[in-house]
Every structure is written in structure tokens, then in C-alpha cells.
């Protein structure tokens, strides 16, 4: 688990402890403890997405759910649950279009081809997720559904791969090139991550935490010393990370 994710899970546990203490001290009045804990965790998740992933859709939906939980306390009984969630969805989509438009956000039911002259490459994507590339710094993450990325000719300086609620699968083709000091940061959230690296690349494990699986022995690679090399920082959250050769 990456340091950032470890901090987030730590804060979540602290919030649960604070909620239980507040219940014991009757700080929440007649509010059910479960409602308080769920609201704190969803609020933390919304802030995490907003500040670390620059997402707007999921945080707004989570905030909409929180408003639904406290509809009576907020004196919003004139608004139905459907209307509250609809408002949250429209706000989230609107902000996504304003702030993330043109940055490689992919929403597709089939395959979608992406080209980027800055990244000097193109790829294909299937499912729902996010892809961005700036000067060799590639970011791939999923939304609520599975997301598959096929990288074919990218030049890679930093490769960041995260899963949200949906599984992420990334295939890296032989046509991709590694820039000096290339690094991959791979972490899972609620869903697994599978990454397929070219068999000609040397993989160095810099850090590893949690449930990480390899389908070969990375410590006994029989590759030339001058083989393209990428360093890995791998950590799992609630689902495994699987590293493959192809």
C-alpha cells in the first residue's frame, strides 16, 4: 500500500473511532451511529478523489448520498431522493466537462482509440476510466466499472495505475519505450489491478506492500544488463495487484 493510501485508511479508522466516542458522549443526539460513520467515510472518499485524482463526478455523487441521509435534518424534505441525486450527478458531470475536458477522460462502451503527440503514442481503451499523458507521465485509473488500456507506442517516464471501484487491466506493448529512470506506481483500491509488461523489459522492485502477485520470479530475471529497465512501486488496498509478463 502506498504511503498516501495508508494515510487515508488511517484517517478512516480514526474517524470511526471518533464517531464511536461521539456516540458514547451523546454528541450526535438522536442520529444513528451508522449514519454518522457512513457520512464521515463517504466525505473522506470524496475529498480523496477531489484532491488526489482531481475527479468531480464521484465526490459530488457521494455528497448527494450524504445529503439524502440527512435530508430531514437539512430540512430538504420537499426534495425527493431522486432529485437530490440527479442534481449531484448533473453538477459532477458539469464540473468534469469544465475541468477535465480534453485531458484524456475516456467513457466508452467499446474500444476507443486515443492519440497524443506529446506522449508520442496511441492506445486503445475498453470500459470506463481515465487516461492522461503529459510528457511521458501517464495516469490510468478506473471509475465504478472495469477499465482496460492497451498501450502501444507510448514513451513512458512515469506510469501511475490505480483502481477505484472497477478493475483495471493494462497491456503494455513492445512498441512502447522507456525514458531514463522510468518508474511505475501501481496500486489497487476496491478492485484488482493486472498489468502486463513486455518480456524484454527488466523489472526492478523498489517497494512492495500488501497482496502483490507475480507470474514469474522478478528476482531471477535472465535479461541483458542493457535491457530496458522500469522500477516498480506496488501496493494493494482491498484487492490484489497482479504483475504479468507477455
pLDDT digits (tens, 9 = 90+) for 17-55: 888 888 888 888 878 888 888 888 888 888 877 766 667
Question: Can you tell me which residue has the cell 497524443?
Answer: 116
How would you class 235 by CB atoms within 10 Å of its CB: exposed for 0-12, middle for 13-18, buried for 19 or more? Answer: buried
Supply the pLDDT for residue 191.
84
3-class DSSP assignment, residue 72: coil
Supply the pLDDT for residue 7.
66
Supply the pLDDT for residue 103.
44
Supply the pLDDT for residue 159.
95
Supply the pLDDT for residue 95.
82
Question: Can you tell me which residue has the cell 495516469?
Answer: 139
Tell me the torsion sign for CA atoms 29, 31, 32, 33.
negative
Three-point CA angle 10, 100, 131, nearest 5°: 75
CB contact burial 120-159 (16+ within 10 A = b; e otherwise): ebbbbbbbbbbbbbeebbbbbbbbeebbbbbbeebbbbbb
How far apart (Å, rounded) are the C-alpha atoms in residues 244 and 33?
43
Question: What pTM was estimated for this model as a whole?
Answer: 0.56
- Do the strands 229-235 and 177-187 form a parallel or antiparallel pair, or are they unpaired? parallel
The C-alpha cell at 120 is 508520442
How far apart (Å, rounded) are the C-alpha atoms in residues 70 and 112?
40
How far apart (Å, rounded) are the C-alpha atoms in residues 83 and 89?
10
How far apart (Å, rounded) are the C-alpha atoms in residues 207 and 160?
14
How far apart (Å, rounded) are the C-alpha atoms in residues 155 and 176?
6
| Residue 41 φ/ψ, nearest 5 degrees | -70, -40
How far apart (Å, rounded) are the C-alpha atoms in residues 23 and 30?
9
Q: CB within 8 A of 192, min separation 6: which ones?
A: 163, 167, 168, 239, 240, 241, 242
* Positions in the chain whose pLDDT score sits under 50: 1, 102-122
Amino acid at each position: 500500500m502506498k504511503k498516501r493510501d495508508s494515510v487515508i485508511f488511517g484517517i478512516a479508522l480514526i474517524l470511526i473511532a471518533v464517531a464511536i466516542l461521539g456516540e458514547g458522549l451523546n454528541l450526535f443526539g438522536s442520529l444513528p451511529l451508522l449514519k454518522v460513520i457512513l457520512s464521515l467515510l463517504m466525505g473522506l472518499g470524496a475529498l480523496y478523489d477531489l484532491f488526489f485524482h482531481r475527479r468531480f463526478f464521484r465526490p459530488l455523487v457521494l455528497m448527494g448520498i450524504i445529503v439524502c441521509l440527512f435530508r430531514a435534518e437539512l430540512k430538504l424534505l420537499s426534495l425527493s431522493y431522486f432529485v437530490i441525486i440527479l442534481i449531484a450527478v448533473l453538477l459532477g458531470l458539469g464540473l468534469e466537462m469544465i475541468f477535465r475536458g480534453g485531458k484524456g477522460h475516456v467513457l466508452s462502451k467499446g474500444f476507443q482509440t486515443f492519440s497524443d503527440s506529446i506522449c508520442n503514442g496511441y492506445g486503445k481503451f475498453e470500459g470506463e476510466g481515465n487516461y492522461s499523458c503529459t510528457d511521458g507521465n501517464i495516469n490510468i485509473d478506473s471509475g465504478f466499472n472495469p477499465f482496460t488500456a492497451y498501450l502501444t507506442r507510448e514513451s513512458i517516464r512515469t506510469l501511475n495505475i490505480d483502481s477505484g471501484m472497477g478493475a483495471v487491466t493494462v497491456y503494455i506493448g513492445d512498441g512502447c519505450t522507456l525514458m531514463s529512470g522510468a518508474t511505475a506506481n501501481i496500486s489497487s483500491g476496491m478492485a484488482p489491478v493486472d498489468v502486463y509488461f513486455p518480456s524484454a523489459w527488466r523489472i526492478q522492485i523498489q517497494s512492495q506492500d500488501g497482496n502483490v502477485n507475480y507470474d514469474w520470479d522478478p528476482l531471477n530475471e535472465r535479461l541483458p544488463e542493457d535491457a530496458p529497465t522500469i522500477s516498480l512501486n506496488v501496493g494493494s488496498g482491498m484487492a490484489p495487484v497482479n504483475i504479468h509478463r507477455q
